[in-house]
Amino acid sequence: MTDLMPLLPEVEAFLKGPLSLRIGGGTVDTDGTIEVIDPSFGSPLCNVAGAGAREVDLAVTAARAAYEGPWSAMTPDERSQCIWRLAELVDERAGIFGQLDALDNGKPFAVARDVDAAYSARHLRYFAGWPSKIEGATIPVSVPDRFNYTRIEPVGVCGLIAPWNYPLLMAVWKIAPALAAGNAIVMKPAEQTPLSALYLADLALEAGFPEGVLNVIPGIGTEAGAALAAHPGVGKIGFTGSTATGRRIVEASMGNLKKVSLELGGKAANILFADADLEKAVPGAFWALFGNNGQSCTAGARLYVQRPVFEQVLEGLVALASQVSVGPGMAETAHDLGPVISERQMRTVTGYIDSGVSEGAECVAGGGRLGDTGYFVAPTILTGVTDDMRVAREEIFGPVLCVLPFDDEAEVIGRANDTEYGLAAGLWTQDVTRARTLAERLKAGTIWINCWGETDAASPFGGMKQSGYGREMGADAIALYSQTKSVWVV
C-alpha cells in the first residue's frame, strides 16, 4: 500500500465545507450534485454542487451587477492591487492548491504545487500590471475639423470554461487577462476537477474583489457549459478543450454573436535531426510527450527522428521509460507521473495502444494499464508507426509516444504539417538556418527549437487550423477580452 501524505488542515476543512457554487460572493446549493472521483484510486472523493441553466443565469446576473457597479467604479490601480493580492494568496496557499489538484486530477503534488500553482501566481502578477496600460489612440483622420480617438473597453461578462488537465493554471490563464481588461467572470471548471477553482473564488473575496466579479459554477459541460455559451448576457466565451466541443460552443454563441476564443486539440510534431545534441534532445523529446502524463494539447505526440540516429534515439527513449515512476498524486514519495484523469480516459488510451498494435505498430515500452487500482497507464512507446495510422493522426491525450523515422527536411515538413491540428510543433537541430526555415514553414501557433513546453505570461499562445483561434497571454490576451470604441468629436 502506497503511503500518502496527510491532508493539510485547510484542505480537510475545505472538503468538509460547503462545496457549493460560488455566485455573487456567496454559496448557492443546487438540486443536482457532481461526484468527484480520485483518479489515483478510482474512488469517490467528494460531491460538489452542479450548475444548470438556472444557476448559470444567476451567475451571469451577479457578474453583470458587479461589472456595472463596484468593479467598473474602481480605478485601474485598485483593480491591479486586487489581482496582485490574489497572486500573493495563490503563492501563500500553493500547498493547498497542490493538494486539491493532486486529489481530483491525480498529478503529483509537487508538480501541482511547484509548477501549476507557482506559474498561476506569476501569471496573475504579470496581468496585474495591465489595467493602467490599456490605452486607445488618437487617429489623424482625413475628415476636416474632426478629432478621432479610440477607447479600449471591457466586453462586460465573460464566460470562461477550463479543462481538467491543468485545473488551476488553465483557469488562471483566462481569469487573469479577463480581470485585467476590466471584465466580470463566470468560470465553469471541468466537472472532473472543480476544487481549485472553487477555492480560488474564495481567495478572490479575500483579495478584495467585489462580490460577483469572479463566480465559479461547476457543472456538466452539456448542461452548464452549453447554457453559458448560449447565454445572451455573456459577451465573451473563452474555452480550452476538445475540438468537437469547441465547434458546439461556436454554434451556441451565435444567438448574440458573442466573441469566442478557442484553444483546442493538438497532435504536435516534434522533429529530431541527426545533428541534434542528443544528450539534451532525447530527454527533451521524451518529456515533450510524457510531461503531464501526455494529457496536454501541446504534447509532442509524433516524434520524427532522422534515420541515421533513429535506433540510438529509440534506445534512449526506451531506457527513460523504464526509469519513470508512476503512482498516486498524493504519494508521500513523489512519483514522476500520476494516473490519467478517469476510467473512461484510461480505456480510451489503452484502446489507442491496441489499435496501433493491430495496425502494425510495435510496442517497445509500456503497453497498457498498470495495476488494478486507479487509472494508471504505463508510459508507452510505439515504433513501426505510419502516418496514416489512428495513433499518428488522432489526439490520444495520454502517455503514448509514436516514434517515426524520416530522411530529409523537405519530407518531414510535409509530414509534420499533414494534420488537421496546428497548436504546437518543435525541432532539435544545431543548424541555425534549418531552425529558422522550419519555424517559418511549420503550421502551428507555437514553435519550440531545442526545447519543449516553454510558456510565459508575456508571450502569446494559441493554435491554427482546428486547434482553435485567439491568443492567450501577453497583449493578445488583453485584446481577447476587450473591444474598441471609436469616438468622433467636432
CA 94 to chain centre: 18
Cα gap 72→87, rounded to integer Å: 21
pLDDT tens digits, 316-351: 999 999 999 999 999 999 999 999 999 999 999 999
Which residues pair with residue 238 across a beta bridge?
160, 261
For the chain, the average pLDDT equals: 97
Confidence class for position 2, pLDDT limits 50, 70, 90: confident
Cα gap 53→34, rounded to integer Å: 15
Task: Choose the catalytic residue: 211, 263, 409, 472.
Answer: 263
pLDDT tens digits, 139-169: 999 999 999 999 999 999 999 999 999 999 9
Inform me whether the pLDDT recorded for 1 exceeds 60: no
Say whether 263 is catalytic: yes
Residue ranges of E strands in 174-284: 184-188, 214-216, 236-240, 259-263, 269-272
Closest among 71, 70, 76 to 152, alpha carbons compared: 76
Confidence class for position 46, pLDDT limits 50, 70, 90: very high
Which residues pair with residue 363 across a beta bridge?
382
Q: Strand 482-489's sheet: what is its strand order?
A: 138-139, 147-154, 482-489
Task: Choose the catalytic residue: 82, 158, 297, 363.
Answer: 297
Grid coordinates of 173: 490563464
Triad 206, 208, 214: Cα angle to 5°: 85
Inform me whether the pLDDT recorded for 406 exceeds 60: yes
Say whether 211 is catalytic: no
pLDDT tens digits, 206-235: 999 999 999 999 999 999 999 999 999 999
Answering whether pTM is above 0.85, one says yes
Cα gap 180→152, rounded to integer Å: 12
Mean pLDDT of 402-416: 98
Confidence class for position 129, pLDDT limits 50, 70, 90: very high
Inform me whether the pLDDT recorded for 69 exceeds 60: yes
The 10 Å Cβ neighbour count of residue 412 is 23
Mean pLDDT of 184-201: 98
Cα gap 191→307, rounded to integer Å: 44
Confidence class for position 310, pLDDT limits 50, 70, 90: very high
Cα gap 154→6, rounded to integer Å: 43
Closest among 444, 418, 419 to 427, alpha carbons compared: 444
Inform me whether the pLDDT recorded for 122 exceeds 80: yes
Grid coordinates of 407: 530522411
